[in-house]
Amino acid sequence: MHLQFSKFFKAFAVILVASFGHSQNNATIVKINPAETNQTISKHIYGHFAEHLGRSVYGGLYVGDDSAIPNTDGVRNDIIEALKELNIPNLRWPGGCFADIYHWKDGIGPKEDRKNIENVSWGNVREDNGFGTHEFLNLCETLGAEPYLAVNMNSGSVQEAVEWERYVNNPNGSSDLTDLRKENGRETPWDVKYWGIGNESWDCGGDMTAEYYSNLYKRYATAISSYDNTEKLYRIAVGPGEPDYEWTETVMKNIPANRIEGLSVHHYSVFDWVDKGHSIEFTDEEYFKTMQRAWFMDEFINKNAEVMDKYDPEKKVGLIVDEWGGWYNVLPGTNKSFLHQQNTMRDAMIAGLTLNIFNNHADRVHMANLAQTVNVLQAIILTDDEKMLLTPTYHVMNMYKVHQDAELLSTEIENNPSFGDAPAISLSASTDKSGKTHVSLVNIDGDKSYEITVNVDKMKPISASILESKKVQDHNTFDNPDKIKPKEFKDFKYKKGKITLEIPAFSVVVFELN
Ligand code: AHR
């Protein structure tokens, strides 16, 4: 049976909840503890990922400088504006699996001279390398985002990685790579800090064992570091993409503390890798299973962090969740290698829940990258020729940006109803530099609203916003791009340090307090 969460159905569910299970006596109670946690939620948790995959880069964010679509150096202006609005803190590129077949020198110099390549990772399509190192790093500069480069560890070489680092970072003209960069139009270095060494090296990145990978990693990590840059680089090693904590153990044990700053892990909310289900026409059971997989992120972080704590008790090495999100079957009629899917309220639930999990693990999770930015997997932006739309996931990211670089507050929930193994209600809270506190609440339950009391002590609500829709399958289309967008939320009461609200099924609510 397909879920049809109509307003009628929801109203019925609310009555049931109020009369049978969720009356005044057992309302969910949220406590915000204003005491300092001394933990900052890194803005980098709100990072993104753009791979050379399907219509992510070519035919997505990059249309070329001769396109009729308004652009800046080939990148769509509407996308630049949308990403700036999010305060996008970092962007990972060029992959993913693609990173391990990419040779950066193919993508520099005059565009007409650049080598065409076959993207053997994703659909064997031909790419003209019009979007290369300069285009990517200049885009990051325009966005005010930190670039995060993934080096080719599989079909590339240590030398190629060293030269890339020198090309983009060398300030003093001591090498011919600096001369080359200047010839190609860039005088000053970009100072790229974040370097991923390999990607999924246990699979598409070379099918390596953890021992082999960590030894090879050390060659890259030492070679790209030199007397003048070691302090400046943040080197990220490959961690697991499934509950293989042995991999984490081996990598953390074998790589000395002075050679690693981050460990990357990947987790997608997929309930069945053989048949991932439709991105719009999913059943209530599929919705439920997706939420269970999204909630697994909490356990995945805890178990990896437990291993990391053994080798890095001071939590200096960041857990970098550089691929996360929902992954479904491609939309019918689209190329199966292009991973193009729609984005519904289900995806908004994955985003709200996952970002709460990351915020609450701010001590260990230092960066995360949603997969992916445009037209691929849980995209925040979809395009169709000149048209462009923002997805429900985009709106969650926008509502949550208030947590970027804010101080995490500790929170407690009493009487939290469950949704399978997952708690129905999740939240995180933080205080920003101006002293305002933000509380993000999510109810992932597919059909029940819940009464919540939020104890805010001496703080008072200033405003609140909500993302909700009638059906969990609802999504934005090019004909109706604003069907789902945040609205002001007024449906709450405040009295003597307590906010009470009825949080609708599958909705996200963010409060601002001072
Ligand atoms: O994001 C799509 C792919 O998923 C990436 O290329 C790879 O790292 C992962 O398996």
Going from the Cα of 236 to the center of ligand 1, the distance in angstroms, rounded, reads 16
- Which residue, judged by its Cα, is nearest atom 8 of ligand 1? 96
Known catalytic membership, residue 200: yes
Cβ of 367 closer than 6 Å to ligand 1, yes or no, is no
Average pLDDT value over all residues in the chain: 93
Dihedral sign from CA coordinates of 429, 431, 432, 435: positive
**What's the pLDDT score for residue 36?**
73
**Cis peptide preceding 372, ω within 30 of 0:** yes
pLDDT of residue 230: 73
- Does residue 437 carry a pLDDT above 90? yes
The best mutation among 97, 148, 151, 270 to test binding of ligand 1, ranked by most ligand atoms within 8 Å of the C-beta, falls on: 97
Q: pLDDT class for 175, splitting at 50, 70, 90?
A: confident
Q: Taken in order 256, 257, 262, 268, is the CA torsion positive or negative?
A: positive
Identify which of 200, 202, 267, 377 to mutate to test ligand 1's pocket (most ligand atoms within 8 A of the CB): 200
Q: Cα-flanking dihedrals φ and ψ of residue 222, to 5°?
A: -80, -40
Is the pLDDT confidence value at 4 over 60? no
Is the dihedral angle over the CA atoms 130, 134, 137, 140 positive or is it negative?
A: negative
The span from the CA of 349 to the CA of 508, in Å, is 8
- pLDDT above 70: percentage of residues in the chain: 95
Q: What is the pLDDT of residues 229-269, one digit of tens each?
A: 778 999 999 999 999 999 999 999 999 999 999 999 999 99
pLDDT of residue 17: 30
Residue 371 Cβ contacting ligand 1 at under 6 Å: yes
Cβ distance 132 to 147 under 8 Å?
no
- Characterize the bridge pairing of strands 194-197 and 146-151: parallel
Is 211 labeled as catalytic in the residue annotation?
no
The answer, yes or no, to whether residue 7 has pLDDT greater than 60, is: no
Q: Give the mean pLDDT of 407-413.
A: 95
163 in contact with ligand 1, CB cutoff 6 A: no
Bridge partner list, 484: none
Residue whose CB lies within 8 A of the most ligand 1 atoms, among 202, 265, 323, for a mutation test: 323
State the average pLDDT over residues 136-144: 98
Q: Which residue has the tokens 């929902």?
A: 326
286 lines ligand 1 (CB under 6 A): no
Nearest in space to 95 (alpha carbons), one of 282, 322, 363, 271: 322
State which ligand 1 atom lies nearest to the alpha carbon of 372: 1
Distance CA 473, CA 245 (A): 35
CA 36 to chain centre: 26
**How far is ligand 1, taken at its centre, from the CA of residue 13, in Å?**
39
Q: How many whole angstroms from 131 Cα to the centroid of ligand 1?
A: 19
- Atom 4 in ligand 1: which residue has the minimum CA distance? 96
Confirm or reject: Cβ of 379 under 6 Å from ligand 1. Answer: no
Query: According to the model, what pLDDT value does residue 25 have?
Result: 52
3-state secondary structure of 451: strand
Quote the pLDDT of residue 369: 98
Residue with CA closest to ligand 1 atom 9: 96
Ligand 1 contact via 474 beta carbon (within 6 Å): no
> Are 59 and 102 spatial neighbours (Cβ–Cβ below 8 Å)?
no
Q: Give residue-wise pLDDT tens across range 182-196.
A: 999 999 999 999 999
- Choosing from 48, 49, 51, 207 the residue with most ligand 1 atoms within 8 A of its CB, the one to mutate for a pocket test is 51
pLDDT recorded at residue 269: 98
- Where do the domains of the chain lie, and which CATH numbers do they carry? 7-38+409-513 (2.60.40.1180), 40-405 (3.20.20.80)
- Please, is 405 exposed, middle or buried when counting C-beta atoms within 10 Å of its C-beta (0-12, 13-18, 19+)? middle
- 98-130 burial string, b = 16+ CB within 10 Å, else e? bbbbbebbbbbbebeebeebebebbeebebebb
322 in contact with ligand 1, CB cutoff 6 A: no
Cis peptide before 94 (omega within 30 of 0): yes
C-alpha to C-alpha distances, 490 to 4, 401, 511, nearest whole angstrom = 26, 21, 10
User: Residue of the nearest CA to atom 6 in ligand 1?
Assistant: 96
Q: What is the largest CA-CA distance in the chain?
A: 75
